[in-house]
């Protein structure tokens, strides 16, 4: 057993000499086997080990289990760090299951210790049977190739040194070395899907279909993991080509380039985008299909809302994935001439009077015939039913149609400034167009000049027309 785990650690490069490793120890058979195996290997391979235990306060035995782990560590001369968290209350506050709340609490504590102790890795006791359960769990939920990888030997700071060992092997090791452990009766609670897979589905598959099902599922995970790594390198090239922008709140991807890819590549890129914006956990095949189903639909106003608060919008030539879709503030500001207007997004417009001799259309400024305007003016958001008559267009058209023609992204439309009279006649969309009722002509004498400040920050930079 020790030699097999040592070889696996070396093959997967999980621990190097001089590393400090935190062993996650619940007191159950798996984690006690991990603790003893790592203790023996640490002396032989030259790395350091400490233990971490979390008391979830979910069962009467929790205090006894914490005491058992601490005493075991004292006997082995291993430093032990324990923490008590009311997981039931945490689940209530976060509106999540006890299982999820417990997992979040554990890994938050482990990562806190990782930073505090300047450790190199957190070792958990996941084994071959856990791997088989995870592959089946992902299959039942509807997964792609990445889900069939199951539990990874290494996931950033998390390592699983026992992943190739069966539960039977671990129990035999404990018995052979007379190592005590605790039994968590909640592992028998078949209200949890994973426990039903463990106690019902896998025994059924072993007895009626294949006695080696656990080993075969574990081997499948290894094969898929290697092939996935190869495919991921290809996908990273596509990602570099197609992602136009990315920040902490979301990303935008080139739509036409995305649509030209094979279906398999589109699916994998979608998972990559969802993971980049909303974290890798919890995404399912149906989430990917919902995104792909959105893309052929006409228009740019459709917004798909998925779990974790992630929203997706197909906006002309872009696919937008975001975790922070904020509707723009509505504004309606009376204009003082001369004067300046600052919009909610920080855009600044200055208004002043000039004459025909000072018109410079190359500067991107807006010029209107002041004598044609009905004062006072307002700079406002769009209104339902707005119509405009852009210069050069014979009739009127709805503002919505104009936005469609100009391919203004849906989420930007409420940020476009509309210069109008108080009665609703639109004179200009500064930065986009001037309307015929206010256009400068040969008879114009007094000119209203609108200059947009150079430090604009609303992300929309179109020259006037």
Average pLDDT over residues 93-117: 87
CA pair distance 134, 129, nearest whole angstrom: 9
- Residues of each domain in the chain carrying CATH 3.40.50.620: 2-221
What span, in angstroms and rounded, lies between the C-alpha atoms of 153 and 125? 11
Cα angle at 70 between 66 and 73, to 5 degrees? 140
pLDDT tens sequence across 187-208: 777 778 889 999 999 999 999 9
* Cα four-point dihedral sign 138, 140, 142, 144: positive
> Which region among 94-98, 124-128, 262-266, 346-350 has the lowest average model confidence (pLDDT)?
94-98
- 10: tokens are 């070396």
Class of domain 2-221: alpha beta
Between CA 444 and CA 371 the distance in angstroms is 8
> Residue range 24-47: average pLDDT?
95
Q: Which pLDDT value is given to residue 275?
A: 92
Q: Which fold has domain 332-452?
A: Phenylalanyl-tRNA Synthetase; Chain B, domain 3 (3.50.40)
Give the pLDDT mean for 283-303.
84
Output Rg (C-alpha) for the chain, integer angstroms.
32
pLDDT (tens digit, 9 = 90+) per residue, 343-376? 888 889 999 998 877 676 656 789 999 999 999 9
Q: What is the mean pLDDT of residues 130-139?
A: 94
pLDDT at 187: 74
Positive or negative, the Cα torsion across 195, 133, 42, 83?
Answer: negative
> Is it the case that residue 315 has pLDDT exceeding 90?
no
**pTM of full prediction above 0.75:** no
Joined together, the tokens standing for residue 280 give 């890798």
Q: Does residue 281 register a pLDDT over 80?
A: no
The angle that helices 98-117 and 87-94 make with each other, rounded to 10 degrees, is 110
Query: What are 223-272's pLDDT values in tens digits?
Result: 999 999 999 999 999 999 999 988 888 899 999 999 999 999 999 999 99
Q: Mention every residue, 6+ apart, whose C-beta is less than 8 A from residue 181.
A: 27, 28, 29, 32, 174
Residue 295 CB partners (closer than 8 Å, separation 6+): 255, 258, 259, 314, 319
In the chain, residues under CATH classification 3.30.465.60 are 248-322
Please say if the pLDDT value at position 404 is more than 90: no
For the residues 390-408, what does the mean pLDDT come to?
A: 85
What pLDDT is recorded for position 465?
Answer: 29
Across all residues in the chain, what is the average pLDDT?
88
Candidate CATH numbers 1.10.10.10, 3.40.640.10, 3.40.50.1100, 3.30.465.60; the one for domain 248-322: 3.30.465.60
d(CA 260, CA 157): 37
Average pLDDT rounded to a whole number, residues 210-233: 94
């Amino acid at each position: 057993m020790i030699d097999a785990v040592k070889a696996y650690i070396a093959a997967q490069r999980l621990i190097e000499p001089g590393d400090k490793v935190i062993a996650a120890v619940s007191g159950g058979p798996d984690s006690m086997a991990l603790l003893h195996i790592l203790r023996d290997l640490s002396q032989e391979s030259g790395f350091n080990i400490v233990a971490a235990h979390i008391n979830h306060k979910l069962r009467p035995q929790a205090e006894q289990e914490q005491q058992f782990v601490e005493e075991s560590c004292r006997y082995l001369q291993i430093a032990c760090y324990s923490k008590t968290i009311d997981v039931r209350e945490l689940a209530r506050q976060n509106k999540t299951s006890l299982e999820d709340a417990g997992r979040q609490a554990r890994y938050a504590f482990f990562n806190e210790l990782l930073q505090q102790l300047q450790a190199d890795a957190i070792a958990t006791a996941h084994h071959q049977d856990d791997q088989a359960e995870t592959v089946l769990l992902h299959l039942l939920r509807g997964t792609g190739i990445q889900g069939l990888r199951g539990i990874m030997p290494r996931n950033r700071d998390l390592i699983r040194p026992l992943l190739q060992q069966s539960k039977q092997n671990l129990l035999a090791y404990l018995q052979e070395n007379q190592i005590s452990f605790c039994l968590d009766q909640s592992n028998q609670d078949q209200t949890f899907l994973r426990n039903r897979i463990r106690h019902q589905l896998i025994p059924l598959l072993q007895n009626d279909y294949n006695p080696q099902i656990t080993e075969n599922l574990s081997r499948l995970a290894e094969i898929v993991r290697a092939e996935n790594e190869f495919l991921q390198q290809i996908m990273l090239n596509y990602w570099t080509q197609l992602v136009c922008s990315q920040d902490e709140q979301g990303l935008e991807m080139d739509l036409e380039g995305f649509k030209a890819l094979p279906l398999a590549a589109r699916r994998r890129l979608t998972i990559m985008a969802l993971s980049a914006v909303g974290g890798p956990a919890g995404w399912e095949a149906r989430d990917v299909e919902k995104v792909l189903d959105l893309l052929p639909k006409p228009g740019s106003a459709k917004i798909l809302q998925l779990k974790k608060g992630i929203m997706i919008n197909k906006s002309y030539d872009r696919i937008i994935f975001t975790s922070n879709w904020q509707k723009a503030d509505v504004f309606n500001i009376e204009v003082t001439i001369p004067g300046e207007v600052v919009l909610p997004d920080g855009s600044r417009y200055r208004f002043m009077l000039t004459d025909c001799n000072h018109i410079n259309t190359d500067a991107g400024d807006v010029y209107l015939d002041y004598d044609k305007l009905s004062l006072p003016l307002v700079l406002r958001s769009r209104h339902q039913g707005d119509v405009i008559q852009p210069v050069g267009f014979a009739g009127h058209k709805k503002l919505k149609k104009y936005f469609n023609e100009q391919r203004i992204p849906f989420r930007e439309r409420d940020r476009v400034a509309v210069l109008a009279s108080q009665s609703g006649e639109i004179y200009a969309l500064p930065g986009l167009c001037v309307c015929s009722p206010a256009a400068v002509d040969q008879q114009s004498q007094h000119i209203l000049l609108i200059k947009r400040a150079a430090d604009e920050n609303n992300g929309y930079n179109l020259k006037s027309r």
